[in-house]
Structure 1
Amino acid sequence: MPITGPAVAGRSLHKRFLLKASKEPVLALDDVSLEVPAGTLTALVGPDGAGKTTLLRLMAGLMRADAGELRVLGIDVSADPQTVQDRISYMPQRFGLYDDLSVQENLDLYADLHGVPRDKRRERYARLMEMTDLGRFTDRPAGKLSGGMKQKLGLACTLVRSPDLLLLDEPTVGVDPLSRRELWQIVQQLVDDEKLSVIVSTAYLDEAERCSHVFVLHGGKLLAQGAPSELRDRAHGLCFIATPPDGEPPRLLQARLLDARLEIIDAVPQGGEVRFIRRSETDDARLDALLEGARTEPVAPRLEDGFMTLLRAQPSPNADATPATSMATSQPSTGQPGEVVIEVKDLVRRFGDFVAVASTSFSVRRGEIFGLLGPNGAGKTTTFSMLCGLLPASGGQLRVAGVDLRHARAQARQRIGYVSQKFALYGNLTVRENLSFFGGAYGLRGAKLRERMDTVLRQFDLAHSLDVPSGQLPGGYKQRLAMATGLLHEPEILFLDEPTSGADPLARREFWRRITALAEGGTTVVITTHFMEEAEYCDRIVIQDAGKVLAIGTPQEVRAQALGGEEDSGRRIDMEQAFIGIVGKARQETKTEVTA
């Protein structure tokens, strides 16, 4: 059915939630008015808790606004949600695939649920399998797909019928750069070929830059809207690239700039340099003092620059929080700077006949930030699990904190901290109860436990949430609590498994400022991430695929490898381009060997 008006039109929308632990209702949407043109790709962006998911659920007819009017495809969704649901498709953050069913069986199940006639399925399935490149895997159980393939299957199941409007809630969270690019190609193809209206919420501003229109939400309010170019212009003339003096890691220059809140709006490592946004009122002398000799040159603004400029102008609820520079561990480091604390030699992990990790070797030094990168299904999570002592190796040597993990995993675990990708604390326990429980599990008692709890509560600005059940915390505060719990016993080594997956730029900056301070204090950090900007914070990284190491070295060395040794040619690439180039080349070589 053709859409004659806007795909979505909302006027003065309000939505409140009353949480058990809160005396006052939480205002999720506060007087939001918007209009989304039909046949376009539109983005909802904003920090954690901004109201993006709430707005999508209102559009999908899954909840009602407390006040205001919302029309979807010309229909009053509050009065007739079923008619709206019959014409839209909605992919939530946690799409419900059935792991024990095959790809084909999942498709059939969702086609049955949506009442897709059998005579129309063959053509639709063929189109979806071509778009997602899942045609070779129709008999594979969904539970055995990589993360990126699961997301593509989720999108295919969402599209088993032809909707008039597609709603996607952060569809690329936890997805590697290659799969993320493929997912966006699919979405863009739907818009171009089928003139489908698509509204996507995303924490990644490079994704929002692909859209024709962007709505910026913050604290339930609509702060700004317009084409990406209009939002970029908010940072016009304020964006620069700084080249650190020889030998200074970019993250240290970035930390210095971020700490200067009166002069700097934002700073982030990029391609071995630091991209920053100065405030318009900052004078050159103050800026030169901060840069300490770093060379600078102006650059054109990106959407993320405009976004950060807009958000930094808003009142900050954490303005009085303990500075991240106080994050250095209070426990003196028990070793020499630069000594090897993790040593991996010819590490192998098999699952039956399948080799998940094949003869991997590397070492990590004390106080180093070491990144494990790779596509979904590359073997990095398996490697990570073996390093943490959560999974035994099938072969090779593995020493962590001076302990042979093949024989004394429990002993090593007392000296490491671990923060998992998914929130793994007890949602029904309060912040205080979680900290007390896990502190006891780490052997902390009495005055020492109270002292460490007070310290991490102050460091992570959690004191005001002591009696809130952790399951009711916003996503950013859940991450803080997970970090606080992992650091209670002052570990020598901290393992972080995709800790900023789905986090907005504000939360990522805050998180990495804390990690930088920890590393400065002598804590060794090992991290997995799919967000390639974060690889720039690492001292060294390893890129894996199909269980094999493809590249290892400093970010600069890995970028040079991707350029084929042309690092002096003047070309600049960021880590995402390097990652895609290295993995893509290795896969092409493997394909050539197989067909030869």
Structure 2
Amino acid sequence: MTGSFASIVSEGLRKAFEAADGSALDAIDDVSFSIPPGTLTAFVGPDGAGKTTLMRMMAGLLTPDVGSLRVLGVDVRRDPQEVQSRISYMPQRFGLYEDLSVQENLDLYADLHGVTPEDRARRFSRLLRMTGLERFTRRPAGNLSGGMKQKLGLACTLVRVPDLLLLDEPSVGVDPLSRRDLWRILAQLIEEEGLSVVVSTAYMDEAERCEQVFVLNQGRLLAQGTPRELRGRAEGLTYVAEPREGMHARELQARLIDARERIADAVPRGGAVRFIRSPESGDADLGDLLHDAIMREQPAELEDAFMLLLREHVAGAGSDAGSPALAVDDGSLPRHARDGGDTVIRVRELVRKFGDFTAVANTSFDVRRGEIFGLLGPNGAGKTTTFRMLCGLLPATSGELDVAGVNLRTARAAARARIGYVAQRFSLYSNLSVRENLEFFAGAYGLRGRTLKRRVGETLERFGLDPSATSGLLPLGYKQRLAMAAGLIHEPDILFLDEPTSGIDPLARRAFWRAITALSQAGVTVVVTTHFMEEAEYCDRIAIQDAGRLLALGTPREVRERAGDGEEADMNRAFISIVEQARANGNDDRAAA
């Protein structure tokens, strides 16, 4: 395909940055591709793959170091302003003005793009209707939920009709319901206006919607083709295994993912485990791993091909990015007596208000020792507020809240000594070494002398961390590994994880959950929030909240059955079904947004 018939043409494209240690980092390394006009195209890859760098070059915001890049027939290096005048670009963190209302944000972007009063009236009406923001035009952008902010960002991006729309991970950090709504809006725009769209994403279900998919990792283009063509790479290698009675799917998944010579990937799904056999191994090699689990072959999915490509590339590069972040529970972990009847978190009629606004309303549940308990909900549902109250970071307005045998209403400091906490964003000291961070947090938790030295040494070994490495220069997966190490150094009874895998790649995500499984086997109680519905399958029980109210509580299987989709249901669909049913039955209009 020649450049005159393509929306975007890249040839031998390279872009490097100087790392903090002075070395050169190849963000884009010899990438060539061509995108035809009028298509929906996806760039997929883990964090650090180069997706954002590539999108910024296509938007004329970064200049290539080597190679050529033509967008809409324009050489980006020579005339970036011409490119910017014809495209619309929505970065991951779109620049909304949070003190301005929804309408004022739209007006501001229309002014910036010179949209006429006649055109903006028509355009605003349609965009507000499509995004469901018609009732919220006077609300400050800062008071919107994460999903609503993403919708407003898309509306501001589209106040004019571009020749090409570039979207850099538009659904990052938003819940399944908001993701679905965003893609419905995109589909409508593509159908009605014939937009050419290029999107970067870490979600394979989103890439499945596209006509062409490019797979990136560490700045290299690993593969390209239609979703069907890419799926073909995993045909005959994908299976599902049903664990024996009484065995949790995550335990079987852990056994499979530990066998990296024979298994390329494994993930719980629908009470079973979906896994990919390595191309070099045969069915006969799996018997000792599966024991009496029932195995059957499955049609390949795009994610299967994606994980195969990543595994092959990581192995070829000699990286250990896919290795478990924590050793299998071999008895070396701190032991916590595990008793299914031992309640370590007790919540009764919990309420949190901010002025006249009720963020959490009359919520009640228990969490047992050694349990992995998931808090799920759409953006703005109240789960983060609930989570912060459980951690002792936010006082409750009313209700009863006992954590590790301590009443958090009256003795939050005493409870915090029994818990560990890993924040959503890396919150350690970036300029300190790994060892210095661990020593600091060990001291903050009250460890001293020989005990501190012993715990730091054990933690470094257990988590496979380089003690001299500068924390801020670690890859995201290792940063998260360090954050969990710091949260566990005082051997807490309970570990709180706030969207722990947000922003880290699928290989590191699998390794992270392998670590959580090991902790649970050792009797540590884990409370986790997540927007990845596949991760709900690792939990013993999950709670779904919306508009501050508890909608569902039970095992993943019970929640799927409540949604009416049966044992084989996809958790993503079950989540959406439960939230929509509750909203249809009268949840407030905050949830409807």
TM-score relative to the length of structure 1? 0.94
SS of the counterpart of 1:26? strand
Q: Deviations over 1:320-368 (max 9, x none)?
A: 9666334677333267564111011111111222221111111111110
The alignment status of 1:574 with 2:570, answered yes or no, reads yes
> For each residue in 1:90-145, what CA deviation from the matched residue of structure 2 results, as whole angstroms up to 9, or x when unmatched?
11111121221111111122222223233321111111101111011000011111
What is the percentage of aligned positions where both structures have the same residue? 63
Aligned ranges 1:205-224 → 2 under 5 Å: 205-224=204-223
Tell me what 2:506 maps to.
505
| More displaced stretch, 330-339 vs 279-288 | 330-339
Whole-angstrom distance in 1 between the partners of 2:421 and 2:163: 44
1:196 aligns with 2:198: no
SS state of the match for residue 537, structure 1? coil
Q: Which amino acid aligns with 2:11?
A: R
Specify the alignment match of 2:326 in structure 1.
324
2:124 aligned residue: 125
CA contact (8 A) 1:375 1:545 kept: yes
Contact 2:321 2:507 in 1 (8 A): no
* 1:588 aligned residue: 584
Q: How many angstroms does 1:308 deviate by?
A: 1.0
> 1:174 Cα shift?
1.4
Distance in 2 between residues matched to 1:82 and 1:273, nearest whole Å: 52
Choose from 382, 388, 391 the match for 1:388.
391
**Offset at 1:537?**
0.3
| CA offsets 1:191-225 (integer angstroms, 9 cap, x no match) | 22211111111111111111111100112110100
Letter in 2 for 1:585: Q
Partner amino acid, structure 1, of 2:254: A
Matched AA of 1:91: M
Once the two structures are superposed, the pairs formed by residues 67-146 of structure 1 within 5 Å of their partners are: 67-146=66-145
Q: Tell me how far apart the structure 2 counterparts of residues 111 and 344 of structure 1 sit (CA, whole Å).
A: 48
> CA offset at residue 430 of structure 1?
4.2
Q: What displacement does 1:476 show?
A: 2.5
Moved more, 278-287 or 48-57: 278-287
Q: 1:425 aligns with which of 404, 425, 428?
A: 428
Q: Which amino acid aligns with 2:112?
A: L
Q: Which residue of 2 aligns with 1:180?
A: 179
Q: Number of residues paired by the alignment?
A: 584
Structure 2 CA distance for aligned equivalents of residues 21 and 251 of structure 1: 39
Given that 1:329 and 1:518 are in contact with CA atoms closer than 8 Å, whether structure 2 keeps it comes out as no
Residues 1:143 and 1:185: Cα distance change in structure 2 (over 3 Å)? same
Deviation at 1:30, TM superposition (A): 1.1
Do structure 1's residue 345 and structure 2's residue 348 form an aligned pair?
yes
* Residues 50 and 219, structure 1, Cα contact 8 Å, conserved in 2: yes
1:410 aligns with 2:406: no
* Residues 406-449 of structure 1, C-alpha deviations (whole Å, 9 max, x = no match): 00001111111111222223344444443333332222334433
Distance 1:459 1:336 in 2: 25
CA distance in 2, matches of 1:296, 1:335: 31
Distance (Å, rounded) in 2 between the aligned partners of 1:379 and 1:524: 22
Deviation track 1:5-57 (CA, whole Å, cap 9, x = no partner) reads 311110001111111224x3111111100111111111111122111111111
Partner of 1:440: 443
Q: What SS class does the counterpart of residue 276 from structure 1 fall into?
A: strand
Relative distance call for 1:79 and 1:592 in structure 2 (3 A) is closer
Deviation per CA, 1:502-561, whole angstroms, max 9, x where unpaired? Answer: 333222211111111111111110011111111000000111111111111111111111
Letter in 2 for 1:587: R
Deviates more, 1:504-513 or 1:317-326: 317-326
Distance in structure 2 (CA, Å) of the matches to 1:590 and 1:320: 45
5+ residue gaps, structure 2, are none
Q: Structure 2: which amino acid aligns with 1:79?
A: R
Question: Cα–Cα, structure 1 residues 320 and 60, in superposed 2: closer, same or farther, change >3 Å?
Answer: closer
User: How many angstroms does 1:488 deviate by?
Assistant: 2.2
Whole-angstrom distance in 2 between the partners of 1:93 and 1:284:
42
1:457-536 equivalences in 2 (<5 Å):
457-463=460-466, 466-470=468-472, 472-536=473-537
Q: Is the 8 A contact 2:325 2:463 kept in 1?
A: no
The yes-or-no answer on 1:356 pairing with 2:326 is: no
Aligned AA (2:523): G
C-alpha change, 1:145 and 1:116, in structure 2 (3 Å) is same
Measure the CA separation in 1 of the matches of 2:325 and 2:506: 18
Is residue 357–residue 379 contact of structure 1 (8 Å, CA) maintained in 2?
A: yes
Distance 1:319 1:532 in 2: 23
Task: Give the SS at the match of 1:301.
Answer: coil
* Residues 48 and 476 in structure 1, CA contact (< 8 A), matched pair in contact too: no
Is this contact kept in 2: 1:5–1:73, CA < 8 A?
no
Q: Distance in 1 between matches of 2:296 and 2:423?
A: 39
Q: Which moved more, 1:224-233 or 1:446-455?
A: 446-455
Amino acid at match of 2:503: G
Task: Provide the rounded CA distance (Å) in 2 between the counterparts of 1:150 and 1:433.
Answer: 38
d(CA) in 1 for partners of 2:378, 2:169? 18
Amino acid at match of 1:550: L
SS in 2 for 1:580: helix
User: Do the aligned partners of residues 62 and 329 (structure 1) sit closer, same or farther apart at CA in structure 2, a change above 3 Å counting?
Assistant: farther
Aligned to 1:401, which of 404, 413, 418? 404
Tell me the distance in 1 between the aligned counterparts of 2:417 and 2:444.
10
Q: Name the aligned partner's letter for residue 208 of structure 1.
A: A
2:557 alignment counterpart: 556
1:205–1:304 contact (8 Å) kept in structure 2: yes
Shift in CA distance, 487/329, structure 1 to aligned 2, threshold 3 Å: farther
The correspondence for 2:372, drawn from 350, 369, 394, is: 369
CA distance 1:140–1:322, shift in 2 (3 Å):
closer
What corresponds to 2:541 in structure 1? 540
Q: Secondary structure at the match of 1:345?
A: strand
**3-state SS, counterpart of residue 186 of structure 1:** helix
AA aligned opposite 1:355: T
Deviation at 1:247, TM superposition (A): 0.8
Seen in structure 2, the aligned counterparts of structure 1 residues 72 and 416 have a Cα distance that, compared at 3 Å, is same
**Hey, what does 1:40 align to over in structure 2?**
39
Residues 334 and 522 in structure 2, CA contact (< 8 A), matched pair in contact too = no
Secondary structure of 2:121's partner? Answer: helix
User: What is the CA–CA distance in structure 2 between the aligned matches of 1:420 and 1:481, rounded to whole Å?
Assistant: 12
1:286 aligned onto 2:285? yes
How far 1:469 moved relative to its partner?
4.9
The whole-number CA distance in structure 1 between the counterparts of 2:175 and 2:57 is 29
Question: Structure 1 residues 119 and 593, CA, compared in 2 at 3 Å: closer, same or farther?
Answer: closer
**Change beyond 3 A, Cα 1:74–1:457:** farther
Counterpart amino acid of residue 251 in structure 1 = R
1:211-267: per-residue Cα shift (whole Å, max 9, x none)? 111100112110100000111111101111111101100000000000111111111
1:256 alignment partner in structure 2: 255
The reply on whether 1:155 has 2:154 as its aligned counterpart is yes
1:7 aligns with 2:7: yes
CA contact (8 A) 2:324 2:512 kept: no
Query: What do the CA deviations read for 1:481-507 (whole angstroms, capped 9, x no partner)?
Result: 322222222221111111112333222
CA RMSD between the two structures: 2.2
Contact 1:329/1:521 (CA < 8 Å) preserved in 2?
no
Structure 1 CA distance, aligned partners of 2:526 and 2:124? Answer: 45
